């Protein structure tokens, strides 16, 4: 298996998860808790996109570890461009006339796939800031630790970048954009905090659980000769 296979696989996983996250953002998921927690109550309420979006951090951390900071930032920036392509294609389909034989009506199609301006603004800004922060922190810690302690780099970079992503997305999509631009529905401050805390707890939990997977993926690609050690 050549090095190109590993690079393409991780890049494809990153972009696929990113696209799925954009398409599943409209659904809010309530994950029941064994017992109520302060702020969030008896369930974590998160966008459906949270699951797919967590995979993007797994893929970018593996990519940064194997191929270096510059290569990882290229993937992040290409992913941002592909997000714009996705939005363009989806909206072109939404605006196209619907056939009388279509099993899905125009209104239903737009409701599911046509994210509001506030959600699009929040998600794109959150993505640009959090993913680049993730790569920056991961590489900085890799330099400071001399390439050791992959678990520390994964948890610290993903944990802090997920905090950035959550605060920016919730703050812009459901706070700043509705208040300043008049798009979307503004949520009360207490609900914003509840939504942000719930999302972050889920994302942080996923980051902890995916640490062994990062180790496994990195070891697999190195052992089978698909990746060399990136310079520290």
The CATH code of the domain that includes 114 is 1.10.1760
Which domain does 202 fall in, by range?
3-223
Q: How far is CA 109 from the centre of its chain?
A: 23
Q: What is the pTM of this model?
A: 0.83
pLDDT in tens, 153-196: 999 999 999 999 999 988 998 888 888 877 667 788 888 898 89
> Does 230 reside within a domain?
no
Q: What percent of the chain has pLDDT over 70?
A: 93
Q: Could you give the CA distance from residue 84 to residue 86 in angstroms, rounded to a whole number?
A: 5
Lowest mean pLDDT among 136-140, 175-179, 228-232: 228-232
Q: How confident is the model at residue 17 (pLDDT cuts 50, 70, 90)?
A: very high
> Does 191 reside within a domain?
yes
Q: Could you give the CA distance from residue 45 to residue 161 in angstroms, rounded to a whole number?
A: 20
Q: Could you give the CA distance from residue 9 to residue 165 in angstroms, rounded to a whole number?
A: 24
> What's the chain's length in residues?
232
Cross-strand partners of 28: 47
> Does 13 reside within a domain?
yes
The count of domains in the chain is 1
Residue found under tokens 């796939």: 113
Higher-confidence residue of 21 and 10: namely 10
Residue found under tokens 């909206």: 91
> Does 123 reside within a domain?
yes
From residue 174, give the alpha-carbon distance in Å to each of 26, 47, 79, 124.
13, 13, 24, 14
What is the number of alpha carbons within 13 Å of residue 200 lying toward its C-beta?
21
> Does 208 reside within a domain?
yes
H/E stretch holding 30: strand 28-37
Q: Could you give the CA distance from residue 134 to residue 56 in angstroms, rounded to a whole number?
A: 11
What is the number of alpha carbons within 13 Å of residue 130 lying toward its C-beta?
25
Q: Could you give the CA distance from residue 173 to residue 118 in angstroms, rounded to a whole number?
A: 5
> Does 86 reside within a domain?
yes
């Amino acid at each position: 298996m050549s090095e190109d296979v590993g690079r393409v696989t991780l890049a494809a996983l990153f972009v696929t998860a990113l696209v799925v996250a954009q398409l599943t953002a409209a659904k809010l998921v309530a994950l029941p808790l064994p017992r109520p927690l302060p702020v969030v109550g008896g369930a974590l309420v998160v966008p459906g996109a949270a699951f797919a979006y967590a995979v993007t951090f797994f893929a970018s951390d593996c990519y940064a570890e194997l191929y270096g900071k510059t290569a990882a930032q290229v993937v992040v920036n290409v992913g941002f461009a592909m997000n714009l392509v996705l939005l363009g294609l989806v909206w072109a389909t939404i605006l196209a006339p619907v056939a009388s034989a279509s099993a899905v009506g125009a209104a239903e199609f737009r409701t599911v796939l046509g994210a509001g301006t506030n959600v699009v603004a929040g998600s794109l800004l959150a993505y640009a800031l959090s993913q680049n922060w993730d790569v920056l922190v991961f590489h900085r810690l890799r330099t400071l630790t001399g390439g050791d302690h992959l678990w520390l780099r994964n948890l610290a970079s993903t944990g802090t970048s997920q905090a950035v992503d959550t605060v920016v997305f919730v703050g812009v999509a459901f706070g700043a954009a509705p208040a300043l631009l008049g798009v979307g529905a503004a949520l009360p401050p207490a609900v914003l905090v509840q939504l942000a805390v719930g999302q972050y707890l889920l994302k942080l939990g996923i980051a902890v659980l995916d640490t062994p997977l990062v180790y496994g993926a990195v070891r697999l690609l190195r052992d089978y000769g698909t990746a060399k050690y990136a310079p520290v």
